[in-house]
Amino acid sequence: ASHSAADLTAADVTRHKWWGWGMDDVRFRFDNKPAFAPLAKNKIGVDLEQVTQFDDPELSDHEVPAGRLGDAEREAIVGLVGEANVRTDDEYRVLHSFGRSLPDLFHVRSGDFERLVDAVVYPGTEEEVAGLLRLAIEKDLVLIPYGGGSCISGSVTPDPAEQRPVLTVNLGRMRQVLSIDDTAGLARVQAGVYGPDLEEQLAAEGWTMGHFPDSFTYSTLGGWAATRSSGMQSDKYGDIEDIVRGMRVVHPEGTVVTNPIPGRDSGPSVHEMILGSEGRMGIITELTVQVHRLPQVRQVIAYMYPDWEHGIRGMHAIARSTDVSPTFTRLSDGPETEFSLAMVKEPTSTKGKVAAKVQDGLFAYLRSKGWDTSEEMSISYVCFEGTKETVEHQKSVVKKLVKGAGGITLGAGPGAIYDQKKFDTPYLRDFLLSYQVFGDVCDTGATWSNINEVHAKVYEAFYEAQRKQGLPGFMFCHMSHSYHSGACLYFTFALKYTSPDKALEQYYNAKRAVQQAFVDLGSTVSHHHAVGTEHQPWLTEDIGELGEHIIEGLFAQNDPGRNLNPGKVV
Ligand code: FAD
């Protein structure tokens, strides 16, 4: 359903629970997943059956420091957006002061509120956004643009040393698809729209944007553009920079407009300078995005390879093929396959029990062929879209390519399960935190030439860090977001910390080892999780001192008063 901002107030805008992922009562459960507790015990030394889970945190257990917004400033802001759209209550201020990274979740649950934003403002129009920015410059306030707050690089958190009042500008009321150019397949959309709301509005007209990051349910179009996001279907639909064709951005000196055209050669791209700028170049109010007709058929097929190297051979063959263009291609390595199998629920229906028996039989057969089905075997998912004929054709081509690389086709059943469950995994981090276990991710890019080396060396770096700190740890990885020259490697790691005062030190010992390995190997600080503050320590090694100098100049020129999300990126 579409809503005009005038119908909505701050209270109508979707928001996470203050201490974790999502806003509803979805919780991760392990009691219906027989292999999960044994995996947790073997890999990270936590006995879920024995250890008592901590209760959900209560905000009233923590002291929330008073905000610093003066009465006159508040009044001026209320004059712009209305009383209902200025929130200074504790829950709003705490929630908007953190993204959803592991350190964010740890700080928020611990009541570590060193510096909170002072108010949360919900503008309803571009004019109101412009008014807020004018006011911020006049009264020397800091504005932090905010979409869904799902960032995991510290991008929405105020600098602890900031003395000026800090306002979060939540774009959530601006969530409408304004128009669709049927001929060009271009949709003008307000920046604050959440993923499901956007796809629902587009689907009502027979369109999709095709951008589905794992955070899709609680992230927004403006946030995707401001962080250079990539969705799981990027193989077909592109990363956000391929999808966004034009934009409107409220800037300290006016509104930047990049016209929606398919390509441009008008000097260095202003458009590209704003993508990934994390709010430092202005507040994005509207984007014109490429949309596509909904495909007639969509199918996810699962494949299995004896190990990672065979799988990469298959993935590379698919990326190289002139006959197929899948919507996504994904390969889990051995440990991630083991983890995925541990996430499978105990079958209760007759159909489920039969499928489990078939799987046991298949694994026994694979073992008889010499496969290591417990630690090496690597599952892959490939998604096909199109007409029935093109999907069938592509499936038959991929089946041959997979076979040529030493893999087998499992079929549509496991593929469908993956497709339905993909947005549930974020809840696992909240669950694990209540057992003093950190589960987090680091992602990078690699070429087809060095992808196996990056994969192996990041593992070495993580386990060496864990060995040094004398803690068990578990790492797994998948490859996704395939390009002609390479793909994204997405590492997940888990560790149980020894005590709350050591927790973050132990987490950063592991995270630093992984990030350092990325840049040492000539990879990037992140494929799609932005820079914020979390990835800044490695930025110079990624883009070079001169690269950083160029970005610093850009921000200094466009925001001389440092009123726009200062301290992020560089
Ligand atoms: P926010 O977190 O609100 O903001 C992020 C940054 O963008 C901030 O610097 C903010 O100031 C700026 N910003 C937001 N809106 C605007 C605007 N309108 N104008 C200017 N600046 C703005 N990312 C991916 O790309 N792919 C994934 O698959 C993915 N999976 C994730 C899974 C989980 C569980 C989590 C927690 C995060 C994941 N992320 C992923 C990271 C995150 O979801 C993305 O960075 C996302 O693009 C952030 O969008 P948001 O609307 O939540 O932005």
Residue 162 has pLDDT above 70, yes or no: yes
* CATH code (residue 255): 3.30.465.10
Residue with CA at minimum distance from ligand 1 atom 32: 215
Residue 5 has pLDDT above 90, yes or no: no
Residue 460 lies in a domain: no
* CATH code (residue 344): 3.30.70.3450
φ/ψ of residue 205, rounded to 5: -105, 10
Q: Which residues line ligand 1 (CB under 6 A)?
A: 99-100, 144-152, 155-156, 171, 191, 213-215, 219-220, 222-224, 226-227, 229-230, 278-279, 283-284, 426, 528-530, 565, 568
Report, as an integer, the average pLDDT of 49-64. 87
Ligand 1 atom closest to 530 (CA) = 45
Residue 24 has pLDDT above 80, yes or no: no
Residue 366 lies in a domain: yes
Residue 2 has pLDDT above 60, yes or no: no
Question: Where does the pLDDT of residue 155 fall: very low under 50, low under 70, confident under 90, or very high at 90 and above?
Answer: very high
Is 303 in contact with 328 (CB distance < 8 Å)? no
Report, as an integer, the average pLDDT of 364-380. 95
Count of domains observed in the chain: 3
Same domain? 410 vs 389:
yes
Is 186 in contact with 202 (CB distance < 8 Å)? no
Same domain? 95 vs 131:
yes
Q: Report the distance separating Cα 301 and Cα 383, nearest Å.
A: 6
Q: Determine the distance from the C-alpha atom of residue 274 to the mean position of all C-alpha atoms in its chain, rounded to a whole number.
A: 19
Residue with CA at minimum distance from ligand 1 atom 47: 224
Same domain? 127 vs 194:
no
Torsion of CA 465, 467, 470, 474, to 10 degrees: 80
For a pLDDT cut of 90, what percent of the chain falls above it? 88
Residue 3: its pLDDT value, please? 64
Is 311 in contact with 405 (CB distance < 8 Å)? yes
Nearest to 539 by CA among 153, 150, 157: 153
Ligand 1 atom closest to 528 (CA) = 25
Q: Report the distance separating Cα 306 and Cα 254, nearest Å.
A: 57
Please tell me the least confidently modeled range out of 224-228, 298-302, 417-421: 417-421
- Who contacts 265 (Cβ-Cβ below 8 Å, separation ≥6)? none
Ligand 1 atom closest to 191 (CA) = 18
Report, as an integer, the average pLDDT of 311-325. 97
42 CA from centroid of ligand 1 (Å): 34
146 CA from centroid of ligand 1 (Å): 9
Q: For residue 150, give both structure tokens.
A: 């799902």
Report, as an integer, the average pLDDT of 419-435. 84
Name the one residue in this structure whose structure tokens are 């490695």: 538
Q: Which helix (H) or strand (E) holds 421?
A: helix 412-421
Residue 141 lies in a domain: yes
Ligand 1 atom closest to 220 (CA) = 51
From 400, 421, 442, the end of a domain falls on 421
Q: Determine the distance from the C-alpha atom of residue 303 to the mean position of all C-alpha atoms in its chain, rounded to a whole number.
A: 25
- Who contacts 529 (Cβ-Cβ below 8 Å, separation ≥6)? 151, 152, 153, 227, 441, 442, 443, 535
Same domain? 153 vs 118:
yes
Residue 495: its pLDDT value, please? 96
Please tell me the least confidently modeled range out of 53-67, 168-182, 228-242, 499-513: 53-67
Same domain? 82 vs 137:
yes
Same domain? 164 vs 42:
yes
From 421, 443, 475, the end of a domain falls on 421
Residue 533 lies in a domain: no
Residue 127 has pLDDT above 90, yes or no: yes
537 conformational bin, left if phi > 0, alpha if psi -120 to 50, beta if neither? alpha
The DSSP secondary structure of 432-477, one letter per residue, reads: HHTTTEEEEEEEEEEETTTHHHHHHHHHHHHHHHHHHTT--EEEEE
Cα three-residue angle 231-232-233, rounded to 5 degrees: 90
Same domain? 256 vs 224:
yes
**What residue type is assigned to position 364 of the chain?**
A
544 conformational bin, left if phi > 0, alpha if psi -120 to 50, beta if neither? left
Same domain? 340 vs 270:
no
- Residue 40 sits in which domain range? 28-170
Residue 1: its pLDDT value, please? 46
Same domain? 107 vs 132:
yes
Question: Where does the pLDDT of residue 414 fall: very low under 50, low under 70, confident under 90, or very high at 90 and above?
Answer: confident
Same domain? 210 vs 317:
no
Neighbours of 55 (CB within 10 A): 7
Which of 52-61, 243-252, 425-434 reaches the highest mean pLDDT? 243-252
Same domain? 251 vs 121:
no
The DSSP secondary structure of 97-141, one letter per residue, reads: T--SSHHHHHHHHHT--SS--SEEE---SHHHHHHHHHHHHHHT-
The helix-helix angle for 308-320 and 388-404 (nearest 10°) equals: 140
- The pLDDT tens digits of the residues spanning 520-563 come to 999 999 999 999 999 999 999 999 999 999 999 999 999 999 99
Residue 484: its pLDDT value, please? 96
Is 37 in contact with 48 (CB distance < 8 Å)? yes
* CATH code (residue 50): 3.30.43.10
Top-confidence residue, 304 or 5: 304
Nearest to 490 by CA among 465, 463, 524, 460: 524
Residue 424 has pLDDT above 90, yes or no: no
Residue 21 lies in a domain: no
Residue 408 has pLDDT above 60, yes or no: yes
Residue 54: its pLDDT value, please? 75
Residue 5 lies in a domain: no
Residue 492 lies in a domain: no
Q: What is the chain's mean pLDDT, rounded?
A: 95
102 CA from centroid of ligand 1 (Å): 15
Using DSSP bridges, classify how beta strands 292-293 and 207-208 pair: parallel, antiparallel or unpaired: antiparallel
Residue 151 lies in a domain: yes
Same domain? 37 vs 162:
yes
- The pLDDT tens digits of the residues spanning 457-479 come to 999 999 999 999 999 999 999 99
From 367, 389, 421, the end of a domain falls on 421
Question: Where does the pLDDT of residue 417 fall: very low under 50, low under 70, confident under 90, or very high at 90 and above?
Answer: confident
